[in-house]
């Protein structure tokens, strides 16, 4: 295991553990203050190691570090420092008992340009006002599983790299490309949707009040599905600006579906053909 | 408002509030110990009032009770007692600040016989080992939205009437009929699936390793979709006993989808035709 640097740590106050400290607090606020992205558990850390997010540090108990050794070893000299601790010390550093037993921390890389992502994409999901971290995570998990090429952020969305979003996404937020669509919300929605149209995307708003059924709106060479926050949904301006407004056939007397589920159905509709 | 019985309560220790006491603890263990089902928030309480679960007590702040007045009033003499309290007293009774501002408590009615439910059903979801309350709740929400007629419980599932499941389902667990399939798990899966077949149901197991694509397995006069817990999925015995094993087309390199999302896709596939 040439690349692996295992460092045993016995002191809770060791400065090298700074990025893993008091995560229970960090989970209540965006991690942006620290500028790090945290992956939790063997499968998610493995996804981080395979992603554009290159961790600089891994903290874990011996058994979990062993399971990660092959993936870490493949990185050779680029492998992060691996801090080996007891479960008890880990709990004291992190602030709670973390039964996933391993964490990795990476710096945030620059967010790619939306244009670049769109060039190679056939199916994208565009978010407006999706401000719930669990929904964001679930959207990325569904995007990965059902073959979306990218997720694009309109205004008023939460941070997809927040710890809870990374966890709920099962790490797929690290792998599915994403970008901001429009810089400060000023060109939203008209200019942003024009950007998509200029690249051949049909913009399809998902809305319970849509006048087209989803199965008639999901085909085409390039499609962008627009979804809004659970509850309010997409704004009237965005509904107006889209090329089509598609409804999922719903049983009578029910609310709309969860936003991540609606996105999953749209992606499935496109993938099933 | 003929039926409405509003009772102002000022004493935290009032015995009439027993079913609402210390819910923060109750959310960590099944509510079965008390034999009550709790609905939280105006929309969910409204669903409870329209369901077979008839609440005997409602606890809320004035503004929320007012919003519920029309639904309560329709019940006439069957309306539950409505205990009106301040937000502060409510927080002290419940054990935490509940920003939904209103709760209802109902006794658990007897669980209906599976056979009875199946007679009128065209599409059902059958669960094996689904032991996560959020997933259970999401399955019921999706079942309601996408038109499943019933949810049937195989072995090793959690309680769908647990408070968190009711909440995540948006109250649809109170409206979508459910029943146990088999009494103690001894006839699972062979006898249980025979029960379904005897009533004309095709049993379709959802599994990433399925040899049929979902869109080829979802039609037919009567279909029962079988889903297993996230992670392990359905047991080998259940996969063997099913009439078909259907896979959702997945992008390469991803896990299976969340179990509630998989169920949603199956129900959507059936509803879209």
Which architecture characterizes domain A114-272 according to CATH? 3-Layer(aba) Sandwich (3.40)
Q: Can you give the pLDDT at residue A149?
A: 96
Tokens of A197: 């149209």
Q: Inter-chain contact A214–B145, Cβ cutoff 8 Å? A: no
Which of B142, B215, B269 is opposite residue A257, by nearest beta carbon? B142
Q: Inter-chain contact A254–B138, Cβ cutoff 8 Å? A: no
Q: Give residue-wise pLDDT tens across range A26-81.
A: 555 444 456 899 999 999 999 999 999 999 999 999 999 999 999 999 998 889 99
Which residues on B lie below 8 Å from A214 (Cβ)?
272
Are B5-107 and B114-271 the same fold in CATH?
no
Rounded-to-integer distance, Cα B260 and Cα B264, Å: 6
Instruction: Check CB contact of A146 with chain B, cutoff 8 Å.
Output: yes
Neighbouring residues of B96: CB distance < 8 A, sequence distance ≥ 6: B23, B24
Tokens of B56: 């005997």
Rounded-to-integer distance, Cα A205 and Cα A208, Å: 10
Which residues on A lie below 8 Å from B248 (Cβ)?
146, 268
Which residues on B lie below 8 Å from A141 (Cβ)?
255, 257-258
Q: What is the CATH number of domain B114-271?
A: 3.40.1280.10
**Chain A contacts in chain B segment 244-263 (CB below 8 A):** 248-251, 254-258, 260-261
Q: Inter-chain contact B255–A170, Cβ cutoff 8 Å? A: yes
Contact (Cβ atoms closer than 8 angstroms) between residue A186 and residue A213:
no
* Helix, strand, coil fractions of chain A, as percent rounded to 5: 40, 20, 40
- Local structure of residue B77 (DSSP, 8 states): G
Q: Can you give the pLDDT at residue B30?
A: 46
Closest-CA distance of chain B to residue A144, Å: 7
Element (H, E) at A151: strand A150-153
Rounded-to-integer distance, Cα B245 and Cα A201, Å: 35
Which residues on B lie below 8 Å from A265 (Cβ)?
264-265, 268
- Rg of chain A, C-alpha, whole Å: 20
Q: Inter-chain contact B146–A255, Cβ cutoff 8 Å? A: no
Taking CA atoms, A40 is separated from A57, A102, A105, A118, A162, in Å, by 12, 6, 9, 30, 12
Mutate to test the interface with B, among A135, A146, A147, A231 (most CBs of B within 10 A): A146
Q: Inter-chain contact A214–B272, Cβ cutoff 8 Å? A: yes
Which residues on A lie below 8 Å from B254 (Cβ)?
144-145, 172
Mutate to test the interface with A, among B100, B150, B170, B265 (most CBs of A within 10 A): B265
Which of B25, B168, B31 has its CA nearest to residue B94? B25
Rounded-to-integer distance, Cα B147 and Cα B131, Å: 23
Neighbouring residues of A163: CB distance < 8 A, sequence distance ≥ 6: A23, A26, A27, A31, A38, A40
Residue in A closest to B208 by C-alpha: A145
When the pLDDT of each residue in chain A is averaged and rounded to a whole number, the result is 90
Q: Inter-chain contact A257–B146, Cβ cutoff 8 Å? A: yes
Which of B170, B251, B272 is opposite residue A145, by nearest beta carbon? B251
Which residues on B lie below 8 Å from A271 (Cβ)?
249
Closest-CA distance of chain B to residue A187, Å: 33
Which of B144, B215, B257 is opposite residue A145, by nearest beta carbon? B257
Closest-CA distance of chain A to residue B132, Å: 14
What sign for the dihedral angle of Cα B60, B61, B66, B68?
A: negative
Mutate to test the interface with A, among B123, B138, B140, B146 (most CBs of A within 10 A): B146
**Start-to-end C-alpha separation, chain A:** 45
Neighbouring residues of A91: CB distance < 8 A, sequence distance ≥ 6: A97, A98
Residues B46, B134, B168: CA angle, nearest 5 degrees: 20
Tell me the domain boundaries of chain B. 5-107, 114-271
Contact (Cβ atoms closer than 8 angstroms) between residue A249 and residue A213:
yes
* Residues of chain A scoring pLDDT < 70: 1-3, 25-34, 183-185, 253, 255
* SS3 assignment, position B220: coil
* Residues of chain B scoring pLDDT < 70: 1-3, 25-34, 183-185, 253, 255
DSSP β-ladder status, A123-128 and B212-213? unpaired
Which architecture characterizes domain A5-107 according to CATH? 2-Layer Sandwich (3.30)
- Local structure of residue A226 (DSSP, 8 states): E
Which of B215, B249, B261 is opposite residue A264, by nearest beta carbon? B261
Rounded-to-integer distance, Cα A265 and Cα B12, Å: 47
Mutate to test the interface with B, among A124, A264, A271 (most CBs of B within 10 A): A264
Instruction: Check CB contact of A212 with chain B, cutoff 8 Å.
Output: no
Q: Inter-chain contact B249–A255, Cβ cutoff 8 Å? A: no
Instruction: Quickly tell me which residue has 């409870």 as its tokens.
Output: B48
Phi and psi based region of residue A171 (left: phi greater than 0; alpha: psi -120 to 50; beta: remaining): left
Which of A170, A251, A268 is opposite residue B146, by nearest beta carbon? A251
Q: Inter-chain contact A138–B258, Cβ cutoff 8 Å? A: yes
Q: Can you give the pLDDT at residue B98?
A: 83
Residue in A closest to B255 by C-alpha: A145
Rounded-to-integer distance, Cα B139 and Cα B221, Å: 22
Rounded-to-integer distance, Cα A106 and Cα A129, Å: 26
Q: Can you give the pLDDT at residue A3?
A: 55
Q: Inter-chain contact B258–A214, Cβ cutoff 8 Å? A: no
Rounded-to-integer distance, Cα A269 and Cα A26, Å: 37
- Local structure of residue A99 (DSSP, 8 states): T
For the purposes of burial, counting CB atoms within 10 Å of the CB of A249, is it exposed (0-12), middle (13-18) or buried (19 or more)?
A: middle
Which of B43, B147, B251 is opposite residue A147, by nearest beta carbon? B251
Q: Inter-chain contact A251–B214, Cβ cutoff 8 Å? A: no
């Amino acid at each position: 295991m040439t690349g692996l640097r295992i460092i045993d740590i016995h002191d809770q106050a060791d400065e090298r553990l700074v990025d893993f400290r008091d995560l229970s607090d960090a989970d209540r606020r965006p991690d942006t203050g620290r500028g790090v992205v945290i992956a939790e558990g063997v499968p998610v850390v493995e996804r981080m190691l395979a992603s554009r997010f290159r961790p600089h540090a891994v903290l874990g108990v011996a058994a979990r570090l062993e399971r990660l050794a092959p993936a870490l070893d493949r990185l050779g000299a680029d492998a992060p420092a691996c801090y080996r601790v007891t479960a008890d010390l880990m709990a004291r550093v992190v602030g709670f008992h973390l039964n996933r037993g391993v964490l990795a921390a990476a710096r945030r890389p620059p967010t790619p340009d939306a244009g670049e992502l769109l060039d190679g994409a056939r199916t994208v999901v565009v978010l407006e006002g999706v401000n719930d971290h669990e929904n964001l995570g679930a959207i990325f998990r569904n995007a990965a599983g059902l073959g979306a090429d990218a997720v694009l952020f309109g205004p008023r969305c939460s941070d997809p790299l927040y710890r809870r979003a990374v966890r709920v996404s099962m790490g797929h937020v690290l792998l599915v490309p994403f970008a901001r669509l429009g810089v400060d919300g000023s060109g939203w929605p008209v200019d942003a949707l024009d950007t998509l149209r200029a690249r051949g995307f049909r913009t399809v708003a998902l809305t319970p009040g849509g006048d087209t059924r989803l199965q008639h709106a999901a085909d085409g060479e390039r499609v962008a599905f627009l979804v809004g926050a659970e509850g309010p949904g997409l704004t009237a301006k965005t509904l107006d600006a889209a090329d089509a407004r598609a409804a999922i056939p719903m049983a009578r007397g029910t609310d709309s579906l969860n936003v991540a589920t609606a996105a999953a159905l749209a992606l499935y509709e496109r993938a099933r053909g």
